[in-house]
Structures are given as C-alpha cells and as structure tokens.
Amino acid sequence: MKLHPFFFRQNRENNKIFISNQLGAWSFLQDEADLHTLIAAPSESSEIDRLQAKGFICGNDSRDLYERAAESKITHRFTRLRDKPSLIMVVPTLRCDHNCRYCQVSRAPLSSRVHDIQVSPQVVAKFIASAAAQKFKLEVQGGESLLALDFIYSLVSSLNKLQEKSFEVVLCTALGPAIDDTFTEWCREENVHLSVSFDGFLDLHSKFRIHSKKGDSATRFLEQRRKLEDAGLSENISYVATLTKEALERGPRAYIDSCLSVGIKRIYSRELSEYGFASITKSDLGYTLGHYINFMGLYLDELIAMYNNGEDFFDYTFSLYLTKLFSPDASSHMDTMSPAGYATSGFLLNYDGRVFGSDEARMLYESTKNERLTIGRLTNTEFKLEEDTFHRRLLAESFLETSSICSTCAYLPFCGLDPIATLNQQGDLTGFKKELSQCQLTIGMLDLITDRFESGKLTQEMVSSWT
C-alpha cells in the first residue's frame, strides 16, 4: 500500500481526526493512533477499502492516477478565472428608508440628492451585456432597491431588448417603499425574485431596523409582504436575517418558532458584518465568533431534530457549507472560492459609476474612499478601466493552495477567501489568515457539520434535501 498526500486536523467537537485530500474526499479516523498507523504503515490501517475508495491510499501501483485526477480537479477550479462573471450586482441608489444600526453598506439618507445612479439604464445594460457570462444573475442592491424602480424597469427592459444573454433578476429589499400593482405585475412577468431582509424576531426587527417614516418596521414588513402574497408572489420571496447578540441569546428554538409564526420556513441567517456602520455598532450589538458558532451548533441540532420529526424548516447558511463539503465543485458562492470570486465570478456597479470586484469592496470603499478599490468607472460615454496591479495582487493572494498558512489545512479543499476581508480586517493583502473571522468561522462550521455527519445525526438524506 502507498500513501497519497492528505490533510488532517483534530475535530474540536469530537476529538476524532478529520482527514481530507486534494480530490475533495474526506473521512474520519477514530484517534491519533489511527493517524500514525495510516502514515507509518498504510496497509495496517483499519477500513482500508474506505480509505482506498476515497483516494487516501492506493495499491502498490504508481500514484499517477491520483496525481492526474487531483491535478485535473484543481486546474478546473483555477481555470474558472477565464470565465466571465455570472453575478452582476447593481446599486442604483445608496438611499434607504430604513436606518439599520448594523447597516453594512453605509446607506445614505432618504433625502439625499447625490446617491442615485446617473448612468442611463441603456448604457448600464450594454455594459452588463458585454461583461457578463452568457447566463447571469442580476442582483439589485442598495440602499433600498425599491426606491429606484424606474431605473430597474428600464434596465431590465433594455437587457431584454438586447437579447444577448439570459438572466434572472433579484431585488434586495427591506420592503419599506410603497408597492403598487405595476410593481407586482412586473415581478410576475419577469419572474423577479425578492430577497427580503427580516431578522427572525419581529421585536428585534423593529428595534434594529428603524423605518424613517412609516412607523414600526416589522408591521410594515408584514403589511408589504401581504401585498406581495396577495399578488401571487409568495414563491418569489426569500428571507435574509442579520443575527444580533439578542437573537443569539434567545436561542435557536425561539428563533425558529418566531420565523414559523410569521410563515417563514426558509431563511438565510448571517452574522453581523465587519463593514460600514456595523463595524462601529458591533461592540454594542455583536458577539464573539465562539458564541456565534455555539449558537449555530445548537441551531443545526434543532434542524436535524425537526427533519426527523417531519417538520419543514431550514436555514440556507448551512447549505453553503454542506455544498462545499459534499459537492465542492458545485459551490458558486463567490466569497468562498480559491482563487477568490473577486471580479471574476461577479462584480458590482455602484450608483456613482464605480465598478468594484465584489459587494464587500464597495462596502469598504464607502467607509474609506480608497480609490485603489475601484476597478473602473462607467459614465454615459465610456467605461474607463483603472490600473489593475492592485486587483491582480488581490486575486494572486487568494490562491489558498499556495498560502503558507492555508496550504496544509484539512479544510483547504472546501475553503475560499474573500480578499477584501483580509484587507478590511488586517490592512494588507496577504494577511495572517488564521486570525481572519472567515477562517475561524469556516473551521468552526465545518467542525460542527462533519461531527454531526460522523456521529450519524446528520444523514445523507438530509444533505441531499438541503443542498
């Protein structure tokens, strides 16, 4: 028996040894003694068939097959760099009618006259058509996207007229602005998807998402959602929650019950951001990553118990990690790719015509005004590309396989980096990656999930259902 290269780490949840390899296969060894046996005398390992099937060891023939397979897999992933971006984010306005304490985009006041896009929708459509992949997602962000509906209608209409590429439309909204029949008909005609901010608990939603004019934001959310549902758009709505310290303290069961009480069975929950106003209010509203990961462990256990009881509820946050672990090649989440999806899987056109390599890059720009973050500028007459050395270096530093810190990590085959997070948290492009919150979060979440799978609590059936 011959050994193939592999990674290992002791899982913090169960103390067993997690092993993985460059094929993206993974397994558990029971203890350190098993690890030593695998390294020193592979033929004496228990469960040889399983280890061989997953590519950790081979017969006494050459290692060529493993080498070719791993090389092909990694080359395929790296070569994604030559593809055109498939996530196109547009910020038609930075104005917002909510004043969220944890706003990550540094929203502008509703009354502002300088935070709406000046480039015509026709020019934006041509720019997107030239830069995007054949099939792409148009994600309209803000500010509050519904404050710029005329622009959005024209943009989608212009893209349709160009008939060059197929695309789906997602509007990110907190549902503050008025919703009329024109809007709901348009959503139905274009099959527009609405990614709606809702923080799980009605009282916390009201407390932290303060509506500028229309009173209680949770009441507003429920009223507006009713209009969408009455217009037959229930299937087009998804929910995004930002978790504060108070939400975590109430625990996952209360969180789930609260979501179910307002008819939500699917939600995407995320931790407090490191950008914008959130970077200031985090000390007040935030928590440690350990606290968050502990909550997520209890949350996952609740989801597993609910699945076993036939209750329908799920959080897409877990899908991100499950997809990474069980189908590493299928994951297209641009914040968790190696090399990064920055400017290659997606880009963002800002209200001021600036083009950024990711949503996080524009968030960082709003609070720093550092022009190096700008990839280019679109005006009604031209698109001017900025000097690109900085952006090339950002991408170069995101190859985790060549990072001295990451290259031996057992979660490397399932990991990826948002290079702007490194810049934001540590002030340089290379960074000390093990201290990045993204690194600690990924390790914590993968420890949780692999532990539940190893113990048999999380089943293949659940994984198939949730990814």
Beta-carbon contacts of 278 under 8 Å, excluding residues fewer than 6 positions away, are 102, 103, 104, 272, 285
Residue partners of 100: CB distance under 8 A and separation at least 6: 107, 174, 208, 209, 210, 242, 277
Nearest distance in Å: CB 286, other proteins: 20
Task: State which residue, 284 or 435, has the beta carbon closest to other proteins.
Answer: 435
| 415-444 positions binding other proteins, by CB under 8 A | 432, 434-435
Q: Which burial class, exposed, middle or buried, applies to 48 when counting CB atoms under 10 A from its CB (0-12, 13-18, 19+)?
A: middle
Q: Does 35 bind other proteins (CB under 8 A)?
A: yes
Stretch that binds other proteins, among 60-68, 106-114, 126-134, 321-329 (CB under 8 A): 60-68
Reported as half-sphere exposure (CB side, CA atoms, 13 A), residue 2 has a value of: 12
> Distance (Å, rounded) from C-alpha 171 to C-alpha 155?
13
* 329 forms part of the interface with other proteins (CB under 8 A): no
To the nearest 5 percent, what fractions of the chain are helix, strand and coil? Answer: 50, 15, 35
**Binding residue (CB under 8 A) for other proteins from 122, 401, 429, 437:** 401
- Identified binder of other proteins from the candidate list 49, 404, 427, 460, rule CB under 8 A: 404
Candidate segments 68-76, 274-282, 348-356, 457-465, binder of other proteins by CB under 8 A? 68-76
Check: CB of residue 277 under 8 Å from CB of residue 101. yes
Phi and psi (nearest 5°) for 402?
A: -110, 5
369 binds other proteins (CB under 8 A): no
Residues 6 or more apart in contact with residue 287 via CB below 8 angstroms: 245, 248, 272
Looking at residue 344, its amino acid is T
Binding residue for other proteins, selected from 48, 162, 240, 405, defined by CB under 8 A: 405
**290 near other proteins, judged by CB under 8 A:** no
**What are the C-alpha distances in Å from 162 to residues 126, 151, 362, 371, 406?**
8, 16, 28, 32, 44
186 close to 228: Cβ distance less than 8 angstroms: no
Q: Using CB under 8 A, which of 246, 399, 457, 466 touches other proteins?
A: 399
Q: Which of 174, 267, 268 lies closest to 219, judged by CA?
A: 174
**CA–CA separation, 131 vs 72, rounded Å?**
27
Q: Is 288 in the site for other proteins (CB under 8 A)?
A: no
Q: Is 67 in the site for other proteins (CB under 8 A)?
A: yes
Q: Which CB sits closer to other proteins, 35 or 90?
A: 35
End-to-end CA separation in angstroms for the chain:
35
For other proteins, the closer of residues 8 and 466 by Cβ is 8
Q: Which of 29, 70, 348, 363 binds other proteins (CB under 8 A)?
A: 70
Query: Residue 91 is encoded by which pair of tokens?
Result: 């910020």
Residue 61 vs 181, nearer CB to other proteins: 61
Residues 260, 279: Cα–Cα separation, whole Å: 30
Q: In the bound complex, what is the minimum distance in angstroms from residue 420's beta carbon to other proteins?
A: 19
| From 1, 25, 48, 74, residue interacting with other proteins (rule: CB under 8 A) | 74
Chain positions 75 to 134 lying near other proteins, rule: CB under 8 A, are 75, 78-79, 81-82
Whole-number Å distance between alpha carbons of 351 and 95: 10
Residue 107 CB, shortest distance to other proteins, in Å, is: 33
Stretch that binds other proteins, among 59-67, 169-177, 200-208, 230-238 (CB under 8 A): 59-67
Give the binding range for other proteins (CB under 8 A) out of 114-122, 140-148, 188-196, 405-413.
405-413
Cβ 40 to other proteins shortest distance, Å? 8
Instruction: Tell which one of 402, 455, 464, 465 touches other proteins (CB under 8 A).
Output: 402
The answer to whether residue 51 forms part of the interface with other proteins (CB under 8 A) is: no
Any contact of residue 60 with other proteins (CB under 8 A)? no
Closest distance of CB 375 from other proteins, Å: 18
Residue 12 near other proteins by CB under 8 A: no
Instruction: Tell me the C-alpha to C-alpha distance, in Å, between residue 296 and each of 293, 303, 317, 446.
Output: 5, 10, 10, 11
CB of 26 to other proteins, least distance (A): 15
Cα separation, 203 vs 196, whole angstroms: 17
CB of 427 to other proteins, least distance (A): 11
Asked if 39 touches other proteins (CB under 8 A), the answer is yes
| Three state DSSP letters for 285-304 | HCCCHHHHHHHHHHHHHHHH
Cβ nearer to other proteins, comparing 4 with 220: 4
Report the amino acid identity of residue 441: L
CA distance 293 to 347: 30
Per rule CB under 8 A, is residue 41 in the interface with other proteins? no
Interface residue with other proteins among 15, 408, 464, 465 (CB under 8 A) is 408
Q: Which residues bind other proteins (CB under 8 A)?
A: 3-6, 8, 22, 35-36, 39, 63, 66-67, 70-71, 74-75, 78-79, 81-82, 399, 401-402, 404-405, 407-408, 432, 434-435
